[in-house]
Amino acid sequence: MTDILIIGGGPAGLTAAIYTLRSGASVTLLEKTGVGGQAALADKIVNYPGFDSIAGYELAEKMHAQATGLGLTTVYAQADSIERTQTGFKIGADGDVYEAKSVIVATGASPRSLGIESKWLGRGVSYCATCDGAFFRGKPVAVVGGGNTALGDALYLSRIASKVYLIHRRDEYRAAAATVEEIERCDKVEKVLSSVPVSIDGDVSVKSMTVKNVNDGTERQIEVNGIFIAVGQTPESAVLRGLVKTDASGYVLTDGRCGTEVPGLFVAGDVRDTTLRQIVTACADGAIAAERAAEYVRSH
Ligand SMILES: Cc1cc2nc3c(=O)[nH]c(=O)nc-3n(C[C@H](O)[C@H](O)[C@H](O)COP(=O)(O)OP(=O)(O)OC[C@H]3O[C@@H](n4cnc5c(N)ncnc54)[C@H](O)[C@@H]3O)c2cc1C
């Protein structure tokens, strides 16, 4: 039986590994695809302290190498069940069963796709305005989505970009009234309602997006260099179903310090209910969850 089993090898899970290993615990990490999580998909990371700019996969490799150097065992398998036992937990993954005294779930989230953008990712299309907005200083951009995140992204980008087109499939935005009012007052934001993106065009990078009016079928080509997709995220919380409480979207409700209602089970990073989903906040969660898991193992 390992002391602590971590599910998910993104920034939260890898930071949790570094902290738990340094506390002297034995640690196993289960990762279903490749280490680094969403961070590994980022073309360039420019907001992580200590690095002016670093490729996402490179930061992920550094985090994993650091944890491996401290003694981490990484198993490439998808965790599909967690069961509480008398002595700890049994975790099912790809037909095998792992036993641990404490579990940290750091399974992250995945941005929802429009289905048309995959070849433009890192070439003008982004799922993260806070991460990539600065690359579009003085250039026209579009934000796709109509909720709080999309409108918040549009306001954030209006302070950087030359113009922001805010594209939404419905005839009104579904964000907080105060945010909608702020959008109405912002000269730099052009509202493009009742419209869905149908294609993205460009050469080495994005040059335009075509949107279709859902009422009359007319199409309009909008010249933009950046497209920010904010149509929601899907939290990867399926492995915790039935064990812990989640909000309506599936984000795990915690005690604010990565604890859950199940003693010894901690949740860190983008998969939990938090206000900012970034690498630095995922790492912070990983550290807090690790401290608590190590303390739990010591006291049981
Ligand atoms: C394109 C893009 C660019 C970004 N750029 C930046 C940036 O520049 N700066 C910044 O701060 N943030 C950026 N972000 C956000 C940042 O990457 C995330 O906030 C951060 O990675 C969250 O870390 P996490 O460890 O909580 O989850 P994730 O990074 O999502 O990692 C979760 C890991 O868990 C694994 N996993 C999921 N379910 C299971 C399971 N059942 N069993 C085993 N493994 C599982 C996944 O494969 C994944 O590796 C970006 C996000 C994207 C998508």
CATH of the domain at 182: 3.50.50.60
The alpha carbon of 107 and the centre of ligand 1 are apart by a number of angstroms equal to 8
Same domain for 11 and 48, yes or no, is yes
Q: Which ligand 1 atom is nearest residue 77's CA?
A: 43
Q: Kindly state whether residues 249 and 174 are assigned to the same domain.
A: no
Residues with CB under 6 Å of ligand 1 are: 7-13, 30-33, 37-39, 41-42, 45, 47-48, 78-79, 106-109, 111, 127-128, 131, 236, 239, 269-270, 277-280, 282
Is the domain of 214 the same as that of 84? no
HEC profile of 172-232: CCCCCHHHHHHHHHCCCEEEECCEEEEEEEECCCEEEEEEEECCCCCEEEEECCEEEECCC
Residues 161 and 79 in one domain: no
Question: Is 131 one of the annotated active-site residues of the chain?
Answer: yes
Q: What is the pLDDT of residue 211?
A: 98
Q: What is the pLDDT of residue 149?
A: 85
On whether both 225 and 237 belong to a single domain, the answer is: no
- Among 187, 207, 229, give the residue marking a domain's end: 229
104 and 141 inside one domain: no
User: Residues 140-194: pLDDT tens digits?
Assistant: 999 999 998 899 899 999 999 999 999 999 999 998 899 999 999 999 999 999 9
Q: For residues 247-274, give the mean pLDDT.
A: 96
pLDDT bracket for residue 46 (50, 70, 90): confident
Q: Are residues 218 and 190 in the same domain?
A: yes
Which residues span the domain enclosing 89? 2-111+233-299
pLDDT in tens, 92-126: 999 999 999 999 999 999 889 999 999 999 899 99
> How many independent structural domains does the chain possess?
2
Binning pLDDT at 50, 70 and 90, where does residue 254 land? very high
Of 173, 205, 229, which residue is a domain's last?
229
Residues 128 and 159 reside in one and the same domain: yes
DSSP 258: S
- pLDDT tens, residue by residue, 158-173: 999 999 999 999 999 9
